[in-house]
Structure formats: structure tokens, C-alpha cells
């Protein structure tokens, strides 16, 4: 646009003065404080809460942080850098804005120093000692690199290196060959607070079989605390979500340990070991073909398939890396000839939705590494017993849906053992524990091979409510390498296994276990040297609703009068339903009063003189005392009226009066809506 042949002059930009520019910078720096706080709130209460429900616990957060496909890794690293920079900028803004306040400037300086310390610590980490705290984004960077086959990215000689076992376990979740949680150790919960800074020599990437390798520790040994344990997990580390890797039995034992209950020390050989054993020995296809029987197949077919599968397993050998970890874990329990128990922990076992218990086999008093390896193979093979395959087929569980972990624990050489239901399976009472006990080891109790003492205990008070002491003729005892049955000494056959105090102690454990798991449990226990140990806990899958208490009092609804069970009541021996009880009381009372007044004369029975009440559900006749005596005195006139053909009484009364009236009412109801029946005068 032009004016008078010329153009309008352009508006000049007003340059900020140095003072104004400084004010703008300070405002931006100060705004970084609220922005960092807002970012923190959005991250912790929004992103982190949705990604990790337990994000405030670092160990829970990290187990998800490095999961395959999880965006958490990049989110956390980005958040950490942005938040630290904003935090440092805010400190600079405060420092430059409060030049006249010495205390505030010192505080702002500390804020800046803390932010710069974090930034410099990430770029140029310093060795602060064996307990140096390492920022999480450093860990993320190292693990990302290691997962893709590279060495540590931050190549500073003074970098405090995290525990190698922990780093490599996390790296397994992002194996370069695509193996994540399936072939890694699912559910690991490493602790990130302070890392051990021991220098380890070569740490290869680990994950699937081509990637895995052992970590050589400072002392050159391989053990659970300082080496990669791909197949073995301590029972105390097994979490509720580890069914797929550790099986139901190991998950239950892990819960008992976390609750502080007495559990024999041990470990679980995970389902990864089973899968790799099957793969190394080329058993997968053969097992699937043999086990793919329909539920309608005969027991003989299942027995034949089971025998073939177990023969294949017996010819297999445990891969060297699995055997090495098994040996290392066994040595942690004592090694040498330490006696252990070997029990199955299937992925479809010990669940609340179905009872697969007892389908696999257990091996007790196993001594030595060779015997342990054989027992493990036999335990794996017991996944394919005839009864287990048939049971899973009927339950709709396919052969490729099950794997077997193996729980290995120090053997409890029990002098007594048994099982306990923390709720009474007979009546559903949650405040009653039912205990079965026998001499010797508990496997014979579980399998039903020995007779047991049976006790019912009140879990609130510890009082023994019922006791049945059996004649226990045999018991299971440990031998040199296994178990055997032997006769019970005559003096102990009819002696109770548990006295009242011991029964109360076992029931107390049951109550704690049920409270911990939040549901009634089926528990196996053992006693050795006067101490009780818990060997297993699984949910009770079929439990009735609690039955009502047996009444101890019979309160009557009418305090004065006569109650008796006779006449029509004799045809009602069982408790009445509430609806029937409500209906019959009024109808019987009215009809009986009308009949008596008709036979004996008006006023013979008045309202309230007779009732048909229920007491604790049972029907009774009730009469007031004086009306009952009055009717008794009028019995003879009533009999003469009944047999003398008095109007409306006896056969003549039914024929000439009652029956015609009954037919008339039915006819009226047949043509009128039931809700509005026709009423006739005098009807």
C-alpha cells in the first residue's frame, strides 16, 4: 500500500535492553521450576502409574523397564534428562533473581550443584566406592548396548559397574535373537538402590542359547550371587506372577517365605530348563504326537503313550549348562550327599481354578548330584503320566500348554507329617482347620497309603473340636537313597500323632497362610526335631459355602402356652422353607379356629388361641393353656355333633355344603383373572 506515491514505513522492531533481556531469561529459568514439577507429576501419576502400578518400588519398575516391547526404557531416560536440566535451570534462575538475599542464593546454588552433579555424573561418572549409586539412565544405556551384543558404552575406567549378574539377567529380556521373557528369567526383581561396583572380567551378552555365557566373578567361582543363573531361581525370589516360569508349587512356596513362615531352603529349576532339555534331546514332536489323545481314549491308550514318552525322557541327558547350574544350586544347599526332595511344579498345577494336584510324581531323600539329575529327569517325565494326560485332556488343557518346573528343597526327615485344610471341606466353615497326621514322611499321607489321625481345630482359639485317632500300622521312612515303608511300633500305633498344643500350632500356621493368600489353602506340613515345616500350599478348589451353626437354643415365639409335634406336624419331619412356614401359620390357625367354633360352638377358639409356629425351622402346634382345657371339656358334644350329621359337619357336611362351595369357587376362578377372583356373598 502506498500513500502519496510512496510506501508506508516499516515498523521497527524494538530491541530489548540488556536489563529487559536478563529479566526474560530469569523468568524463563524460574518457569522451569513449575514446569519440572508438572512434568514429574504427569510422569509419576500418569505415565509411570499406567506402565508400572508399583512404580514407587524401584525393583518392580525395573523388571518392566527392560521388558521386550516396553516403551518404558526410552521414556524413563528421556524423562530423567529433561527433569534434571529443568531442575538445574530453575536453580540458576533463583540464583540470578535474588542477588540481595544471601541465604536464598546459597540455596539456589545448592540446587544448581545438585543438578549439575547428576548431569556430570551421567557424562563422566566417578568411582565413589563399592556402594556408589548409579543413575538409572546409565544402567539403561549399558543394558541396551549389552542386549545387542556390544560392550559397555560408557568406557570410563572409573565407572562403578553394577553387579554383572543383575545386568545380564536384565539383558536377557532384550536378547538380539528375539528371545525375551519366554527364554529369560521372567519376573526378576533386581534391586537398584545401591549397586555393587566389583570389576568383572568379560561379560558377554546373554539371552537365548547362542547368547548365553557364564560370568566369571572375582574369585573365579560360579554361584547364585555372582553368576548368571538362567535356569535356577531361589524360592524366595519367586513372585505370584511367575506361574509360567516356576509353576504353581514354587509360587506357593515363595508366598510362604515372604510371609515369614518356616519353609525348608531350596530352589526351583524353571520351565526353561524343561524346554531346553526337550529341545536338546529332540523330544518335542514325539511328545506332542503321543500326548495328543482325545478325552474318549481308553486308559490303556493313555498308559501306552505314557510309557513311550517316559522311555524317551529316560534316554535323554541334561544339557551341560543346565547341569552346571543345578550343581551350583545343589552345592548352595550343602552339596555332597545332602538329602533333598524333588517335586514337580507344573504350570497347570496348584491353581485356584482347577485341582491338578497329585498328577505328577515326587522323589524324596535324594542324595548326590547324579541321583539328583536322574530324579529331575524322572520328575520331568512324570508330566506325562497316564493319569496326568487323561486329566488334562478332560479339562481341555492341550499338551503344548504345559511345562514342568522342579522344586528342590532340603529334605525334612520328619517324624510326623500330614496335610491340613485351612477351612472345613465338610461344612465350609472358614474358622475350622481339618488336620490329617501320620508318623513318618508325608508323601504316603498325600497318596492315601497310610491311615491318619483326623482332627478339627478352631482356628480362632486353637481348641481341638473333634479328634479321631487311627490305628496306624505302617509309615514311610527315609532310606539310604529314597524311601520305604516299615511297621509302626506297637506302642505308637494307637497313640495320637499331635497333642492338643501341637494341633493348635499347626492350625495357627494355617490361619496365617490363609490370611496371607486371602483364600482357604490346602497345606502339606512336616515335623522334625519338634519344629514344624511347611512343604506346600495351594488353593482349595472346591469348598462349599459355610454352613449355619447348629442351634443350641430353641427360643419360642409365644412364651406362655403348649407346644407339641403331633397331628399334621408329624407329616413334616424336616425344617420348613421360610415361605411355606409363613403361609401355613395363618392358614392352619384360621381353618382350625373355624372348625372348632363350628363343632364346639362360637367362641370356643379366639384369635391367638392357636398357632402353627416354627422353632429353628421346625413346625409346631401351639395352644394357649385355658382354651386347650376348654376344648377338652367340649370334646364329647363335638363328637356327637360330628357323627350326628350336624349341618356342615361330617360326611353330610362335605357332600351338601363344603364340596359344592369348593366347586363354585374353582369355577369362578377359571373365568376370572387370578389376581382379581370373583367374590360371592358368603363365600
**DSSP assignment string, 381-411:** HGGG-HHHHHHHHHHT--GGG--EEEEEEE-
**How far is 153 from 146, CA to CA, in rounded Å?**
9
Are 643 and 650 contacting, i.e. CB atoms less than 8 angstroms apart? yes
Could you tell me which residues come within 8 angstroms of residue 189 by beta carbon, excluding any fewer than 6 positions away?
59, 60, 62, 63, 237, 239
Segment 382-407 shows an average pLDDT of: 88
Region class of 574: left (phi > 0), else alpha (psi between -120 and 50), else beta: beta
* pLDDT top residue among 19 and 548: 548
41-55, 231-245, 591-605 — which is least confidently predicted?
41-55
Q: Tell me what pLDDT residue 415 has.
A: 92
Helix (H, G, I), strand (E, B) or coil at 129: coil
In this predicted structure, the answer to whether residue 572 has a pLDDT above a threshold of 90 is: no
Q: Facing residues of 437 across strands?
A: 418, 453
Percent helix, strand and coil across the chain, each to the nearest 5: 45, 15, 40
**300-316: per-residue pLDDT in tens?**
999 999 999 999 999 99
Answer whether 162's CB lies under 8 Å from 174's CB.
Answer: no
For the cut 50, the answer to whether the pLDDT of residue 13 exceeds it is: no
How many other C-beta atoms can be found within 10 angstroms of the C-beta atom of residue 281? 17
| Alpha-carbon distances of 461 from 454, 511, 601, rounded to whole Å | 18, 11, 61
- Least confident range of 148-162, 254-268, 465-479, 585-599: 148-162
Determine which of 189-198, 315-324, 587-596 has the lowest per-residue pLDDT on average. Answer: 189-198
Whether the predicted model's global pTM rises above the 0.85 cut: no
Q: Which of 285-289, 507-511, 597-601 has the lowest mean pLDDT?
A: 597-601
Residue 554 has φ and ψ, to the nearest 5°, of -125, 75
Give residue 46's pLDDT band: very low, low, confident or very high (50, 70, 90): low
- How far is Cα 279 from Cα 288, in angstroms, rounded to an integer? 13
Q: Is the pLDDT of residue 233 over 50?
A: yes
Is residue 562 over pLDDT 80?
Answer: yes
Identify the band that residue 161 occupies on the pLDDT scale cut at 50, 70 and 90: very low
Phi and psi at 405, nearest 5°, equal: -95, 165
Number of other CB atoms surrounding residue 564 within 10 Å: 10
pLDDT at position 526, please? 94
pLDDT of amino acid 354: 46
Given a cut of 60, whether residue 219 has pLDDT beyond it is no
pLDDT category of residue 18 using cuts at 50, 70 and 90 = low
State how far Cα 324 lies from the chain centre. 32
Give residue-wise pLDDT tens across range 624-649. 877 777 777 777 776 766 666 555 66
Count of H helices and E strands in the chain? 22, 20
Helix or strand run (H / E) with residue 459: none
Average pLDDT over all residues of the chain: 73
pLDDT tens profile 440-499: 998 778 777 788 999 999 999 999 999 999 998 889 888 877 888 889 999 999 999 999
Give the 3-state secondary structure of residue 50. Answer: helix
Task: With a cut of 60, say whether residue 162 has pLDDT above it.
Answer: no
Q: Please tell me whether residue 45 adopts helix, strand or coil conformation.
A: helix
Closest CA to 240 of 190, 184, 187, 192: 187
Contacts of 113 (CB under 8 A, 6+ apart): 91
Which DSSP string do the residues of 169-193 spell out, in sequence order? HHHGGG-TTS--TTTS-TT-----S
Mean pLDDT, residues 509-526: 93
**Higher-confidence residue: 370 or 359?**
370
Residue by residue, DSSP assigns 524-549 as EEEEETTEEEEEEEEE-S--PPPPPP
Asked whether the predicted pLDDT for residue 143 surpasses 80, the reply is no
| Residue 1 reports pLDDT greater than 80 | no
Q: What is the pLDDT of residue 495?
A: 94
- State whether the Cα torsion 100-106-107-112 is positive or negative: positive
Closest CA to 118 of 92, 80, 156, 153: 80
The average pLDDT across 61-84 equals 49
d(CA 576, CA 587): 15
Nearest to 121 by CA among 138, 140, 144: 138
Of 534, 530, 266, residue with least CA distance to 415: 530
Closest CA to 472 of 455, 492, 457, 454: 492
Q: What local confidence, expressed as pLDDT, does residue 135 receive?
A: 41
CA distance 683 to 678: 10
pLDDT value for 465: 95
Q: Where are the alpha helices (DSSP H) in 98-242?
A: 102-123, 136-147, 164-171
Short-list 59, 11, 2, 357, CA closest to 192:
59
Q: How high is the pLDDT of residue 89?
A: 76
Q: How many C-beta atoms surround the C-beta of residue 554 within 10 A?
A: 10
In angstroms, the CA 228 to CA 222 distance is 8
Helix, strand or coil for residue 306? helix
Q: Are 350 and 402 in contact (CB under 8 A)?
A: no
pLDDT at 407 over 50: yes
Predicted confidence (pLDDT) at residue 184 exceeds the cutoff of 70: no
Mean pLDDT of the region 354-376? 80
**Confidence (pLDDT) at 449:** 77
Contact 134, 152 (CB under 8 A): no
Of 136-145, 227-236, 466-475, 639-648, the range with the highest mean pLDDT is 466-475
The CA-atom distances, in angstroms, between 124 and each of 89, 128, 138, 140, 161 are 20, 12, 11, 16, 13
Which position has the grid cell 525334612? 412
Amino acid at each position: 500500500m502506498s500513500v502519496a506515491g510512496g510506501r508506508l514505513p516499516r515498523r521497527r522492531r524494538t530491541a530489548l535492553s540488556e536489563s529487559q533481556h536478563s529479566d526474560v531469561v530469569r523468568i524463563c529459568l524460574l518457569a522451569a521450576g513449575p514446569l519440572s514439577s508438572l512434568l514429574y507429576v504427569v510422569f509419576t501419576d500418569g505415565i509411570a502409574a499406567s506402565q508400572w502400578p508399583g512404580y514407587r518400588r524401584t525393583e518392580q519398575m525395573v523388571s518392566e523397564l527392560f521388558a521386550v516391547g516396553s516403551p518404558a526404557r526410552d521414556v524413563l531416560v528421556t524423562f530423567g534428562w529433561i527433569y534434571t536440566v529443568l531442575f538445574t535451570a530453575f536453580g540458576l534462575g533463583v540464583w540470578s533473581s535474588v542477588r540481595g538475599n544471601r541465604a536464598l542464593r546459597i540455596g539456589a546454588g545448592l540446587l544448581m550443584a545438585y543438578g549439575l552433579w547428576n548431569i556430570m555424573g551421567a557424562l563422566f561418572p566417578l568411582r565413589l566406592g563399592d556402594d556408589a549409586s548409579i543413575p538409572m539412565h546409565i544402567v539403561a544405556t549399558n543394558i541396551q548396548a549389552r542386549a545387542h551384543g556390544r560392550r559397555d558404552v560408557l568406557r570410563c575406567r572409573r565407572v562403578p559397574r553394577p553387579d554383572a549378574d543383575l545386568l545380564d539377567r536384565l539383558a536377557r529380556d532384550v536378547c538380539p535373537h528375539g528371545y525375551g521373557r519366554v527364554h529369560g528369567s521372567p519376573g526378576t526383581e533386581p534391586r537398584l538402590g545401591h549397586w555393587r561396583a566389583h570389576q568383572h572380567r568379560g561379560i558377554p551378552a546373554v539371552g537365548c542359547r547362542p547368547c548365553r555365557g557364564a560370568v566369571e566373578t572375582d574369585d573365579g567361582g560360579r554361584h547364585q550371587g555372582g553368576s548368571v543363573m538362567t535356569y535356577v531361581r531361589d524360592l524366595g525370589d519367586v513372585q505370584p506372577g511367575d506361574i509360567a516360569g516356576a509353576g504353581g508349587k514354587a509360587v506357593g512356596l515363595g508366598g510362604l517365605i515372604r510371609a515369614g513362615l518356616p519353609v525348608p531352603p531350596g530352589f526351583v529349576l524353571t520351565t526353561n530348563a524343561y524346554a531346553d532339555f526337550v529341545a536338546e534331546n529332540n523330544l518335542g514332536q514325539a511328545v506332542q504326537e503321543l500326548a495328543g489323545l482325545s478325552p474318549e481314549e481308553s486308559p490303556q491308550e493313555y498308559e501306552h503313550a505314557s510309557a513311550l514318552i517316559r522311555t524317551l525322557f529316560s534316554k535323554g541327558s541334561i544339557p551341560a549348562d543346565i547341569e552346571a547350574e543345578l550343581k551350583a544350586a545343589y552345592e548352595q544347599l550343602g552339596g555332597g550327599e545332602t538329602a533333598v526332595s524333588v517335586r514337580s511344579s507344573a504350570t497347570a498345577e496348584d491353581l485356584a481354578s482347577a485341582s491338578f494336584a497329585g498328577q505328577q510324581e515326587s522323589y524324596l531323600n535324594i542324595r548326590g548330584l547324579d541321583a539328583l539329575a536322574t530324579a529331575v529327569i524322572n520328575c520331568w517325565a512324570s508330566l506325562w503320566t497316564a493319569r496326568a494326560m487323561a486329566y488334562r485332556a478332560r479339562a481341555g488343557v492341550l499338551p503344548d500348554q504345559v511345562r514342568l518346573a522342579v522344586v528342590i528343597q532340603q529334605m525334612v526327615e520328619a517324624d510326623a507329617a500330614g496335610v491340613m485344610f485351612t477351612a472345613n471341606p465338610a461344612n465350609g466353615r472358614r474358622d475350622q482347620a481339618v488336620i490329617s497326621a501320620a508318623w513318618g514322611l508325608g508323601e504316603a499321607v498325600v497318596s492315601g497309603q497310610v491311615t491318619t489321625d483326623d482332627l478339627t481345630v478352631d482356628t480362632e482359639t486353637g481348641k481341638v473340636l473333634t479328634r479321631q485317632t487311627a490305628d496306624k500300622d505302617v509309615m514311610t521312612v527315609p532310606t539310604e537313597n529314597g524311601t520305604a515303608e516299615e511297621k509302626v511300633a506297637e506302642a505308637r500305633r494307637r497313640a495320637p500323632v499331635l497333642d492338643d498344643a501341637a494341633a493348635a500350632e499347626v492350625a495357627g500356621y494355617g490361619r496365617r497362610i490363609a490370611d496371607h493368600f486371602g483364600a482357604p489353602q490346602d497345606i502339606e506340613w512336616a515335623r522334625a526335631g519338634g519344629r514344624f515345616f511347611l512343604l506346600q500350599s495351594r488353593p482349595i478348589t472346591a469348598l462349599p459355602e459355610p454352613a449355619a451353626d447348629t442351634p443350641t437354643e430353641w427360643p419360642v415365639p409365644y412364651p406362655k402356652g403348649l407346644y407339641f409335634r403331633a397331628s399334621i406336624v408329624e407329616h413334616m419331619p424336616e425344617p420348613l422353607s421360610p415361605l411355606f412356614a409363613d403361609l401355613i401359620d395363618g392358614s392352619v390357625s384360621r381353618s382350625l379356629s373355624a372348625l372348632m367354633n363350628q363343632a364346639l360352638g362360637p367362641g370356643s377358639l379366639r384369635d391367638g388361641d392357636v398357632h402353627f409356629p416354627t422353632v429353628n425351622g421346625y413346625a409346631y402346634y401351639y395352644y394357649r393353656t385355658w382354651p386347650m382345657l376348654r376344648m377338652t371339656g367340649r370334646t364329647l358334644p363335638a363328637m356327637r355333633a360330628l357323627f350326628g350329621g350336624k349341618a356342615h359337619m361330617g360326611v353330610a357336611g362335605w357332600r351338601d355344603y363344603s364340596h359344592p362351595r369348593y366347586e363354585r369357587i374353582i369355577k369362578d376362578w377359571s373365568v376370572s383373572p387370578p389376581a382379581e377372583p370373583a367374590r360371592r356373598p358368603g363365600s
